[in-house]
Structure 1
Amino acid sequence: MTILLSDPRVHAVPVHDDGEPMVELDDSFGPAHAAVRASLAQRLLLARDRLPGGIGLRVVEGHRSLADQRAIIAGYAAQLSALHPGLTDAELERLTSRFVAPVAVAPHVAGAAVDLTLVSTADDRELDLGTPIDATPEDSGGACFFDAPQVTGPARANRELLARVLGGAGLVNYPTEWWHWSYGDRYWALRTGAAAALYGPVSARLVTA
């Protein structure tokens, strides 16, 4: 059964932030220059080195501000409320958390998560992963879920490649979003059995060169 970020077990994980700095990913990860915790950046390098020749990683988002996180939550929750009138607050939070994390446990806000995809290094073309990054469950008919059965062929093979290299580097996937991978946050701690999360909310102003 999929554990969502709204699950009380995620919220119960303690955070022992070790103060690790944020760093900016360089051009080799794409034009976004996403900010992430230093250890996450190191693990992304390790994962990329394990990819077959001709394939690279493109990171489209890393750290996200609290304000941006709240705005995404509000926008998606409004869409869900329109689609499903009469939802309780708890039901709305659970459905919303399939696509965007509650602020208190949001991996992006901690600098602990990236949204990424695979690219051909020959022509910088994004490979087929079944859906665009940030496709909602509603827009994609559930194909955004990592294990969506309707995703087959090259898209399935590319997802499995992501899982091998990123999982091998210590990252965990959020199962409702094939593109979302994290390290050191509360969800990572719950999935890996770590005693505590390594990172809590952090300001992008702390990024080092």
Structure 2
Amino acid sequence: MYDIDYQIPLVDLSRIRLPHYQIPLDRQSPLFTEELVNVRDYDLPFSSWHAMSDGSNAPYHKAIQGSRTDGWLRKTFAEKLARINHLLHSFDVELLILDAYRSIECQRGLWAFYWERGRVAKPDATDEELRLHTLGYLRDPRNFDPQDARSFPIHSTGSSIDVVLRYRKNGQWLNMGSAFEEYSDVSATDYFERQLQQGAIDDRDERLWNRRLLHWSMSTEGLTNDPIFYWHHDWGNQIWIKVKKVMHGSAPDAAWYGYIADPQWEQFA
């Protein structure tokens, strides 16, 4: 348990699953062209899940084609995360960012991975069936157009992260209740809040409180969580606006972060 008075709000996931790509971009916002910065310069721990080559990055167990070993985010977003990380130090924990800016090439590599996994599971599946299967995991990058806000993956905005918590003293991950990138009902952020309501767990359960700590800390800087996955958080992009409208009833009309090209000095796995 942590000394915070906080509960994760319960969410109607059917509303969260509504499309967000129709939300327009505010291309006149001064933040629209804000630069990407290296998270290392903000003392933000980063370990690219998609670039790992030691086999520990389930479900891939290999580096994904196009993945990067360095982490990049929009400057204002990185500044917010640095303040969040400092706040978490008082609990002897810190953020561990596992995915930040994601290149289109990496998105294509992930698409190919899940497409092939679906084909192996169902060898007789049609291309349309495989497309629908793969869409259950990520946005289709095959029709990517940097000028079309309906076509780009959200991580290509530089304003989305996938993140867990770890202990500062030894680097061990906190128990969040399900594995990172586990696509299951248990990964829904409010899962243990519902378990508590149903009497299936007690109010001292570490999984409940670890999720509360992550969710609370992110909310202090106005970030939103995609409630389907406890690890995904946004600021200023299309998902951020959709979640704010669902959770709070109001949000800006347009996102200020859209697709941004890779830094020229990127490092590929």
TM-score, length basis structure 1: 0.81
Letter matched to residue 33 of structure 2? G
Verify: 1:191 aligned to 2:243, yes or no: yes
- State the partner residue of 2:191: 148
Q: CA deviation at 1:22?
A: 0.4
Letter matched to residue 36 of structure 2? M
Tell me, what secondary structure is at the counterpart of 1:125? Answer: coil
- State the partner residue of 2:93: 55
- State the partner residue of 2:138: 100
- State the partner residue of 1:21: 35
Matched residue pairs, number?
201
Tell me, what secondary structure is at the counterpart of 1:109? Answer: helix
Of residues 146-155 and 117-126 in structure 1, the stretch that sits farther from structure 2 once superposed is 146-155
Letter matched to residue 30 of structure 1? P
Tell me, what secondary structure is at the counterpart of 1:199? Answer: coil
Q: Deviations over 1:103-147 (max 9, x none)?
A: 42522111111111111111111111112222233xxxx222212
Verify: 1:111 aligned to 2:148, yes or no: no
Distance, in Å, in 2 between the alignment partners of 1:122 and 1:165 is 19
Letter matched to residue 76 of structure 2? S
Flag the structure with larger Rg.
2
> Which of the residues 64, 81, 85 maps onto 1:44?
81
- State the partner residue of 2:146: none
* TM-aligned CA distance change 1:49 to 1:22, over 3 Å: same
- Contact 1:80-1:92 at 8 Å conserved across structures: no
* TM-aligned CA distance change 1:88 to 1:161, over 3 Å: farther
Q: Counting strand residues as a fraction of each chain, which structure ranks higher?
A: 1
1:165-176 map, 5 Å: 165-176=217-228
- State the partner residue of 2:171: 124
Tell me, what secondary structure is at the counterpart of 1:163? Answer: helix
- Contact 2:177-2:207 at 8 Å conserved across structures: yes
Verify: 1:161 aligned to 2:213, yes or no: yes
Distance, in Å, in 1 between the alignment partners of 2:210 and 2:135 is 25
Q: CA deviation at 1:48?
A: 1.8
* TM-aligned CA distance change 1:46 to 1:83, over 3 Å: farther
* Structure with larger RCO (C-alpha < 8 A, sep 6+): 1
- State the partner residue of 1:203: 261
Q: CA deviation at 1:74?
A: 3.6
State the percentage of identical aligned residues.
21
For the aligned residue pairs, the C-alpha RMSD in angstroms reads 3.0
Letter matched to residue 210 of structure 2? N
TM-score, length basis structure 2: 0.64
- Contact 1:105-1:186 at 8 Å conserved across structures: no
